[in-house]
Structure 1
Amino acid sequence: MTQLNFNLDIEILKDSVLNSNLEAVVKSTIVLVLNEYMEKERDDYLQAAAYERSIERIDYRNGYYERELLLSIGRVQLRVPRTREGHFSPSVFEKFSRVDQAFVLSMLEMVVNGISTRKVTNVVQQLCGENVSKSFVSSLTGKLDPIVNEWANRPLNTMYYPYVYADAMYIKVREHNKVISKAVYIATAINENKRREVIGLKIDHVESFEAWQGFFQHLKGRALQSPKLIISDAHEGLKKAIQREFIGTSWQRCTVHFKRNIIERLPKKESKQIIADMRRIFNSISVEEARQYKEQFVDKYEEEAKVQKAIEILEDGFEDAIQFLNQPSRYHRYLASTNSLERLNQEVRRRERVIRIFPNNQSAFRLIGAILMDYENRERSGKKSL
């Protein structure tokens, strides 16, 4: 039997399977695979495709019936094909009992790692013990894409998202026989239940005002209401798009990026106390306290020539970097930076490195969407609210 190599942490996957922490996406994927394979088995049994006239035909299609299959992740409802004379019997139910857990783990690996042709072939071989054609695999992959697409376009009017995080990262995609960089736009949010949620994904050519504006318009088209605060880095196109698309929304400049910009302008030596004084500003509990510490910082170091550039950067971006202090204090640690989104980007990057170059936009969207869906499922099932 074919042995599969998993890129994911197998212990985590086993724990998810055994504890039934899988969401509808995985079950839906398994149902699609099994239904499609049973359809192929019926075609082979009849020796004729649907609506095909053939002298070799031995029977005729006679619709479907519903049948449950009990898996280690719970029950799934399958659409079992039947024939007029009733002699056809799919092999799935007999074979699945021998490979149930291996197949579930394979499906998880397949969903989160891009559903490549090779991986789908390996999974079906693991299940059925035989090779399948590339056309069958392509047809199956095409039926899996709507799962990610439906998630990525779901309505956002079921609850209010007061705090939204936005960032972009770059990937490599093959297009017209060339390898080019594409920008991946991701938006996450803290919802009114105080839980993190991924609310947006888009792949575009470059990070620009027009692209960010289109991304925000897509979110608004899915009924996203203007949030209280959007947290991001200081990309000019992103800032402009926020101002244009979200009336009444404040922009919070990521303090981690901002402090890094300030520190880069400090002298390499003897800056330890300067950095400590600067960080005290952003550890304040109110806007008034932050402004007070900032003035003290400027008064203390304004005569030091080597600190002047850092002071200019601080003065220029200070107000945008303390907007989080206008929100309830219990949220301050979560709103000061884009750290949570950066960690999510790193998880995407870790999986994306396995592929290195995507064959097209859809394969990239499928992989990244699956990773984000997996992240969201883990957030719902394994973490408390903020």
Structure 2
Amino acid sequence: MTKVSKEQLRKFIKENNLKSTEDVQAALRDLFAGTMQEMLEAELDTHLGYAKHDTKNKTTDNSRNGHSRKTLTSEYGDVEIAVPQDRKNEFEPEIVKKNQTNTVGIEKQVVALYARGVSTRDIGAHLQQLYGLDVSPTLISNITDKLIPLIKEWQNRPLQTVYAVVFLDAIHFKVKQEGQVVNKAAYMVVGIDLDGKKDVLGIWIGENESAKFWLSVLNELKSRGVEDILITCVDNLKGFSEAISACYPKADIQKCVVHQIRNSLKYVSYKDYKSVTAALKPIYKANTEDAALVELDMFEETWGKKYPLVVRSWRANWDELATFFRYPPEMRRIIYTTNLIEGYHRQLRKVTKGKSIFPTDESLTKMLYLATMEVTKRWTMRVQHWGQILSQLIIYFPDRVEKYIR
């Protein structure tokens, strides 16, 4: 492309009496429209073989000169140009395609802003301020709808055969449904594969969290190629363990200790919060399961009479709370809580906090998907100490791991 010389720029400024950015934008808009028009005229001349149109006498719909008026959105604002009409499908415009209404690559910007949780109204305001474009919320929604095939492809992609650890948890949002605002759960699954890499395995939108829905999620993971999971990390949702065992009977189940503590404190008066929390800490900080059981007995001696439901809850869930004691310290830090997936959830919350209500399940899915793509871009490193963890997993699960190690 030939650069414009300083002399030409000075002449352009003088001839158009440019004194402000608004003057520049208006002049460039006119220049853009004129340039596009000349290109269209030349294109039609080439097609017809001779000049068979009058650029000085353009009408809204003139079949004699084969033109119609068209508003084209450019980065300099909306401009109106005369577009050659299709003549019995003989002429296919190349400069401005049929039904094309813009020349600005705004789609990537719309998607990027949407991925950061910017509302459709604010995206429109941003584009108006930056480019002078009037972009409606409907257009923004239509642009982001182009993500739907990508989301479906991502959601249905094949997965690893074996995952060392899988975290399952849900976060909740308000969504409009049939004229009412209802609570919906976004079911999330994060896996750590045998290479020590983290990945989000899928996002499912359903009614309030239930073990039945989790069962359908686990069945879908199996249909996408996940044959085995060594350890599953979950909260204390009723029926969760049964759902996991139904799909992956060999999987060790680790209930989140932090969730267990929170549930325990529901039965504790506020004045005893700190004391009870401190008394529970030696249980899950013990070096062995036997030592942890001794600490649990001591807790019962001190607090059992006042808070029997706390003790009952720990003992009822003990088998799945104590799973992490079987593993080395490096693995214990990963699995004894669901902090890994909750950290991912916090990143999603940063994006969705500006949306108190989502208009549809689809709009919620689009935003969660885009936010997830941003989060997982940073998941490039292996889990810390993974080499040491993997060597012990091979010892714990020789038949289930060794044949899949590359």
| TMscore range, shorter length | 0.5 to 0.7
Write the letter of the residue equivalent to 1:176: E
Supply the distance in 1 between the matched residues of 2:103 and 2:265 (Cα, whole angstroms): 65
Q: How does 1:1-386 map to 2 (within 5 A)?
A: 47=84, 53-54=86-87, 59-61=91-93, 107-113=111-117, 116=120, 118=121, 121=124, 129-131=132-134, 137=140, 139-157=142-160, 160-266=162-268, 268-269=270-271, 274-298=276-300, 300-301=301-302, 305-380=305-380, 385-386=383-384
How many angstroms does 1:204 deviate by?
Answer: 0.8
How many angstroms does 1:141 deviate by?
Answer: 2.8
Supply the distance in 2 between the matched residues of 1:281 and 1:138 (Cα, whole angstroms): 51
Supply the distance in 2 between the matched residues of 1:260 and 1:135 (Cα, whole angstroms): 43
Using a 3 Å threshold, how does the CA distance of structure 1 residues 46 and 285 change in structure 2: closer, same or farther?
A: farther
Alpha-carbon contact 1:46-1:60 (below 8 Å) kept: no
Supply the distance in 2 between the matched residues of 1:138 and 1:276 (Cα, whole angstroms): 50
**Identity score, percent:** 23
Using a 3 Å threshold, how does the CA distance of structure 1 residues 192 and 46 change in structure 2: closer, same or farther?
A: farther
Supply the distance in 1 between the matched residues of 2:276 and 2:138 (Cα, whole angstroms): 64
1:146-190: CA deviations, max 9, x gaps?
A: 233322222112x63211111122211112222111111111122
Write the letter of the residue equivalent to 1:60: E
1:54-102: CA deviations, max 9, x gaps?
A: 57x894256xxxxxxxxxxxxxxxxxx788xxxxxx965xxx8xx9xxx
Secondary structure of 2:295's partner? helix
Using a 3 Å threshold, how does the CA distance of structure 1 residues 234 and 82 change in structure 2: closer, same or farther?
A: same
How many angstroms does 1:362 deviate by?
Answer: 0.6
Supply the distance in 1 between the matched residues of 2:269 and 2:135 (Cα, whole angstroms): 64
Using a 3 Å threshold, how does the CA distance of structure 1 residues 138 and 366 change in structure 2: closer, same or farther?
A: closer
How many angstroms does 1:297 deviate by?
Answer: 3.6
Secondary structure of 2:309's partner? helix
The one of the two structures with greater contact order (alpha-carbon pairs below 8 A, sep at least 6) is 1
Secondary structure of 1:305's partner? coil
- Give the TM-score normalised by the residue count of structure 2: 0.64
Alpha-carbon contact 1:226-1:247 (below 8 Å) kept: no
Alpha-carbon contact 2:118-2:354 (below 8 Å) kept: no
Supply the distance in 2 between the matched residues of 1:202 and 1:114 (Cα, whole angstroms): 22
Supply the distance in 2 between the matched residues of 1:136 and 1:265 (Cα, whole angstroms): 51
Supply the distance in 1 between the matched residues of 2:129 and 2:115 (Cα, whole angstroms): 16
Alpha-carbon contact 2:168-2:233 (below 8 Å) kept: yes
Alpha-carbon contact 2:119-2:354 (below 8 Å) kept: no
Alpha-carbon contact 1:166-1:186 (below 8 Å) kept: yes
1:2-41: CA deviations, max 9, x gaps?
A: 9xxxxxxxxxxxxxxxxxxxxxxxxxxxxxxxxxx99xx9
Structure 1 gap ranges (5+): 3-36, 63-80, 84-89
1:203-247: CA deviations, max 9, x gaps?
A: 012322321111111222211232111111111132321121112
**Which stretch of the first structure deviates more once superposed, 164-173 or 147-156?**
147-156
Alpha-carbon contact 1:115-1:367 (below 8 Å) kept: no
Supply the distance in 2 between the matched residues of 1:45 and 1:142 (Cα, whole angstroms): 31
1:343-384: CA deviations, max 9, x gaps?
A: 33233233323121111111011011111221111222xx66
Bigger-Rg structure (1/2): 2
Write the letter of the residue equivalent to 1:141: T
Using a 3 Å threshold, how does the CA distance of structure 1 residues 272 and 176 change in structure 2: closer, same or farther?
A: closer
Supply the distance in 1 between the matched residues of 2:270 and 2:84 (Cα, whole angstroms): 77
Secondary structure of 2:213's partner? helix
Supply the distance in 1 between the matched residues of 2:273 and 2:145 (Cα, whole angstroms): 57
Using a 3 Å threshold, how does the CA distance of structure 1 residues 364 and 275 change in structure 2: closer, same or farther?
A: closer
Using a 3 Å threshold, how does the CA distance of structure 1 residues 269 and 362 change in structure 2: closer, same or farther?
A: closer
Supply the distance in 2 between the matched residues of 1:222 and 1:239 (Cα, whole angstroms): 21
Using a 3 Å threshold, how does the CA distance of structure 1 residues 125 and 280 change in structure 2: closer, same or farther?
A: same
Supply the distance in 1 between the matched residues of 2:157 and 2:361 (Cα, whole angstroms): 20
- Give the TM-score normalised by the residue count of structure 1: 0.67
Supply the distance in 2 between the matched residues of 1:54 and 1:134 (Cα, whole angstroms): 35
Secondary structure of 1:306's partner? coil
How many angstroms does 1:288 deviate by?
Answer: 3.1
Supply the distance in 2 between the matched residues of 1:265 and 1:365 (Cα, whole angstroms): 36
How many angstroms does 1:342 deviate by?
Answer: 2.3
How many angstroms does 1:335 deviate by?
Answer: 0.6
Query: What's 1:70 paired with?
Result: none
Alpha-carbon contact 2:174-2:181 (below 8 Å) kept: yes
Alpha-carbon contact 1:165-1:338 (below 8 Å) kept: yes
Supply the distance in 2 between the matched residues of 1:107 and 1:324 (Cα, whole angstroms): 41
Write the letter of the residue equivalent to 2:112: L
Query: What's 2:59 paired with?
Result: none
Query: What's 1:12 paired with?
Result: none
Secondary structure of 2:376's partner? helix
Supply the distance in 1 between the matched residues of 2:347 and 2:103 (Cα, whole angstroms): 38
Write the letter of the residue equivalent to 1:202: W
**Which stretch of the first structure deviates more once superposed, 310-319 or 364-373?**
310-319
